[in-house]
Amino acid sequence: MSAMSKTILVTGGNSGIGAALCKLLATEHGCRVLLGARSPEKGEKAKADIVAKYPDAKIDVVTIDVASDSSVAAAAAAVKAMGVTLYALVNNAGLGLAQADDDAHNTAAVMNVNYAGPKRVTDAFVPLIQPDGGRVVNVSSGAASAWVKGQDAATKKLYSTPGLTQAQLDASVAKEVAAGNVGWGDGYGISKAALTALTLVQAAAHPTLVVVSLSPGFIMTPMTVGYGAKLSPEEGCKSSIKCLFGDVVSGLYYGSDGLRSPMTVSRDPGTPEYAGEDDPDPAKYNK
């Protein structure tokens, strides 16, 4: 499949990293982009902003609230009715931190969007993704490894080792949330750790697809206002582009520089690529 024929759905595509990724995919990579947005008005505004500068950009707005079963089902039906086959799904929509949304400070809501949302969307859209070599890209965060590295050995293993089942992950998430062990940002930490672990489950469940997770880096978006982020949304797309079009391995987690990263320690951009669970010196990643 040539780049010009690829159709990619990006949830949360109306602002921040999602909007920047939609623009790059439609303009620099020649893709047909399905811009997913909870608000159709905000989705159309984001599309108009791109098309105003790039009239040849191929963008369709798909109304989708990743927190709602019915909205996700309706979005999948709408995309199916378009008669397209997706090359990839990017689970980018996220909630938490500094967003001007009351739910951003509600752990249950954060978990529903950041963890249950990508599962809900992937389950609904997998039948529409090209069955051999299609991709699912889960936009996680450095907050994922920041949460995991502070846990005990058994929890570190559970969240980072292939073979994890959905039942095991759900049980662990429920236990940690009930105990209040949710990390910074009202659950943002564990929600992203759970998303990266979910990637292991999804990769095993869909062996003909490439399913990966990533950190976009510390990017200036409505989510990080006041946190000191300095990188642009476009700079936050580097790992997404690598995971969409590059040579990556299903189930793995990639850093903001597009290199494989561990989940049990934080790996800073510019440090060596993670060599796997038998790496003798994990401390070198954040020296």
Q: pLDDT higher for 86 or 100?
A: 86
Residue 225 contacts residue 98 (beta carbons within 8 Å) = yes
Taking residues 218-245, what's their average pLDDT? 71
How many CB atoms neighbour CB 28 within 10 A? 12
Write the CA distances from 92 to 4, 195, 221, 236, integer angstroms. Answer: 22, 11, 13, 12
Burial 100-135 (b: 16+ CB within 10 A, else e): eeebbbebebbbbbbbbbbbbbbebbbebbbeeebb
Query: Which position has the token pair 């992203």?
Result: 192
Question: DSSP assignment of 191-228, as one string?
Answer: HHHHHHHHHHHHHHH-TTSEEEEE---SB-STTSTTTT
Instruction: Please tell me the pTM assigned to this model.
Output: 0.92
Nearest to 244 by CA among 54, 80, 58, 9: 9
Tell me, what's the pLDDT at 149?
93
Round to whole Å and give the CA distance between 245 and 28.
Answer: 13
Backbone angles phi, psi at 41, to 5 degrees: -65, -45
> Is the confidence at residue 201, as pLDDT, over 60?
yes
17 contacts 233 by C-beta, under 8 angstroms: yes
Q: Give the DSSP H/E element, type plus range, for residue 37.
A: strand 32-37
Angstrom distance (rounded) from CA 29 to CA 21:
10
pLDDT tens-digit profile of 232-257? 777 879 999 999 999 999 999 999 99
Rounded to whole angstroms, how far apart are CA atoms 160 and 153?
Answer: 11
State pLDDT tens for residues 94-128: 887 544 466 657 899 999 999 999 999 999 999 99
Angle in degrees, 0-180, between the axes of helices 188-205 and 166-178, rounded to the nearest 10:
170
Q: How is residue 231 annotated by DSSP?
A: B
Residue 36 has φ and ψ, to the nearest 5°, of -85, 135
Q: In the prediction, which pLDDT does 276 show?
A: 86
C-alpha–C-alpha distance, residues 97 and 188, integer Å: 7
Tens of pLDDT along 120-132? 999 999 999 999 9
